[in-house]
């Protein structure tokens, strides 16, 4: 049947026209279509502890959370989040007015950027950056300014002068992510202090994405909200997905002083209103895990990091050993073409990776990201396949 021509209205580009599909879905689909090992999208291939999974099933069957939960999130979870922030970082948040449960960290980031900026404002990000940041800034009608992280002395870091230069009278928010995806860097106290000093001097807000807070192998995770004068200007965001290996549950949260949190909540209520009902109950219980759980989880992941990075180095790839997260990045060199390389890789080797080009505003295409949150045997098989590249 002949189709009528599209209406002029349907042809208008919309705010995210230039973004296209997220790389993660595209590369996971490519892995499926080619039967490749998927070291692209960052999700573990082993689900979280079975007692946490059982808590969620029980919540559903007991009728807890099957109907709309409270707008801020269930009180048990807000209390558990506040207790977690206090016991790990000495940060005090009132569960009644300073903690908001969201649909993953993704929604918290979107609501924070939409709630804290106005069209024409500027948001500073550190590139390479997690892909939703650029889309959220564009949705808000704001402009992003990227400060580049570069490998230096064994880890990725930024030049404080470049950060200072990126801040203008229109800058409203610094969007920070530590531990950092994709580089695996953990911002040091000195780096955080440099950001905090500028935030205080220029009266900026900080949105701090800390979803990898418990996936740290070397170094220490320091929430920027814990630095002097920062609690009142920071929205701290995290999520259960990585910490408890349940990325599909989408339980996230934002913590901030009441005036700031209210701005985030006012957006969140119209994005989803609420979400993840029964899973909120399970995560309230999960956050009461013994400190040992977090230590053993990180130690297990560190073994996977070592397995992958040692294998890559042995094969002659250039890679820095990441301090944290799920990810290791290889450097194809100054003329490297990561996007092309990643599109060919499933066909040539049966492995999927992510071209870091999609995380940059600058024209940087030499880096490729591999996820190592997979069973050891899967990582070994991926390495055997990569070896065939020769
Ligand atoms: N921030 C970063 C840096 C991430 O890598 C991810 C992806 N897992 C998210 C936020 C999104 O977290 P969630 O799945 O909880 O929405
Ligand atoms: N955070 C995960 C990654 O960086 C994927 C999240 C997503 O698919 N949006 O790979």
Cα separation, 41 vs 370, in Å, equals 9
Pocket test for ligand 2, best of 19, 22, 23, 24 (most atoms within 8 A of CB): 24
Distance 242 CA to ligand 2 centre (A): 10
CATH of 14-43+292-389, one of 2.60.40.1120, 3.40.50.300, 3.90.1150.10, 3.40.50.1100: 3.90.1150.10
Average pLDDT over residues 105-132: 98
What's residue 229's pLDDT?
97
Q: Label residue 11 by pLDDT band (50, 70, 90).
A: confident
Q: Label residue 18 by pLDDT band (50, 70, 90).
A: confident
Distance 281 CA to ligand 2 centre (A): 24
Distance 211 CA to ligand 1 centre (A): 6
Which helix (DSSP H) or strand (DSSP E) does residue 310 occupy? helix 291-314
Residue extent(s) of CATH 3.90.1150.10 domains in the chain: 14-43+292-389
Q: Counting atoms of ligand 2 from 1, which one is nearest the CA of 25?
A: 8
Q: Which residue, chain included where needed, has tokens 């009278």?
A: 169
Q: Label residue 21 by pLDDT band (50, 70, 90).
A: confident
Tens digit of pLDDT for each residue in 203-247? 999 999 999 999 999 999 999 999 999 999 999 999 999 999 999
**Protein residue with least CA distance to atom 3, ligand 2:** 42
**Protein residue with least CA distance to atom 12, ligand 1:** 105
**Which candidate, 42, 35, 31, 38, places its Cα nearest to that of 378?**
38
Do the Cβ atoms of 320 and 156 come closer than 8 Å? yes
**Protein residue with least CA distance to atom 2, ligand 2:** 42
What's the sign of the alpha-carbon dihedral 11, 17, 18, 22? negative
Distance 389 CA to ligand 1 centre (A): 31
Distance 375 CA to ligand 2 centre (A): 18
- Terminal-residue alpha carbon distance, the chain: 51
Cβ < 6 A, ligand 2 pocket: 22, 24, 41-42, 181
Tens digit of pLDDT for each residue in 64-104? 999 999 999 999 999 999 999 999 999 999 999 999 999 99
Stated pTM of the model: 0.97
Residue extent(s) of CATH 3.40.640.10 domains in the chain: 50-287
Q: Which CATH architecture has domain 50-287?
A: 3-Layer(aba) Sandwich (3.40)
Cα separation, 69 vs 387, in Å, equals 50
Lowest model confidence (mean pLDDT) among 3-7, 52-56, 74-78, 103-107: 3-7
Q: Which residue, chain included where needed, has tokens 């950027």?
A: 113
Pocket test for ligand 1, best of 107, 130, 253 (most atoms within 8 A of CB): 130
**Protein residue with least CA distance to atom 1, ligand 2:** 42
CA atoms in the 13 A half-sphere facing the CB of 131: 16
């Amino acid at each position: 049947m002949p189709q009528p021509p599209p209406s002029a209205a349907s042809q208008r580009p919309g705010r995210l026209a230039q973004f296209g599909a997220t790389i993660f879905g595209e590369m996971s689909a490519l892995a499926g279509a080619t039967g490749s090992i998927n070291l692209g999208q960052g999700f573990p291939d082993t689900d979280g502890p079975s007692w946490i999974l059982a808590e969620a099933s029980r919540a559903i069957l007991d009728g807890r959370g099957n109907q709309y939960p409270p707008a801020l999130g269930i009180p048990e979870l807000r209390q558990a989040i506040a207790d977690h922030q206090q016991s790990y970082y000495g940060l005090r948040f009132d569960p009644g007015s300073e903690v908001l449960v969201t649909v993953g960290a993704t929604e918290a980031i979107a609501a924070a950027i939409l709630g804290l900026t106005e069209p024409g404002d500027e948001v500073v990000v550190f590139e390479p950056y997690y892909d939703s940041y650029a889309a959220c800034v564009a949705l808000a009608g704001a402009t992003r300014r990227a400060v580049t992280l570069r490998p230096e002395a064994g880890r990725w870091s930024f030049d404080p002068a470049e950060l200072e230069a990126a801040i203008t009278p229109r800058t409203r928010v610094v969007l920070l992510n530590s531990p950092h995806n994709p580089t695996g860097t953990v911002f040091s106290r000195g780096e955080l202090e440099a950001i905090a000093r500028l935030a205080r001097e220029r009266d900026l807000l900080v949105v701090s994405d800390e979803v990898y807070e418990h996936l740290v192998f070397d170094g220490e995770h320091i929430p920027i909200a814990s630095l002097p004068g920062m609690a009142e200007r920071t929205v701290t965001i995290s999520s259960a997905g990585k910490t408890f290996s349940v990325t599909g549950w989408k339980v996230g949260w934002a913590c901030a002083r009441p005036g700031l949190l209210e701005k985030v909540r006012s957006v969140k209520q119209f994005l989803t209103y609420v979400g993840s009902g029964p899973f909120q109950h399970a995560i309230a219980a999960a956050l009461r895990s013994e400190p040992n759980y977090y230590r053993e989880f990180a130690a297990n992941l560190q073994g996977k990091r070592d397995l992958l990075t040692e294998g890559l180095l042995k094969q002659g790839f250039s890679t820095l050993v990441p301090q944290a997260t799920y990810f290791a990045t290889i450097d194809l060199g100054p003329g490297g073409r990561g996007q092309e390389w990643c599109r060919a890789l499933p066909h040539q080797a049966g492995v999927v990776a992510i071209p870091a080009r999609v995380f940059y505003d600058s024209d940087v295409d030499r880096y490729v990201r591999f996820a190592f949150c997979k069973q050891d045997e899967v990582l070994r098989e991926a390495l055997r396949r990569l070896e065939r590249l020769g």
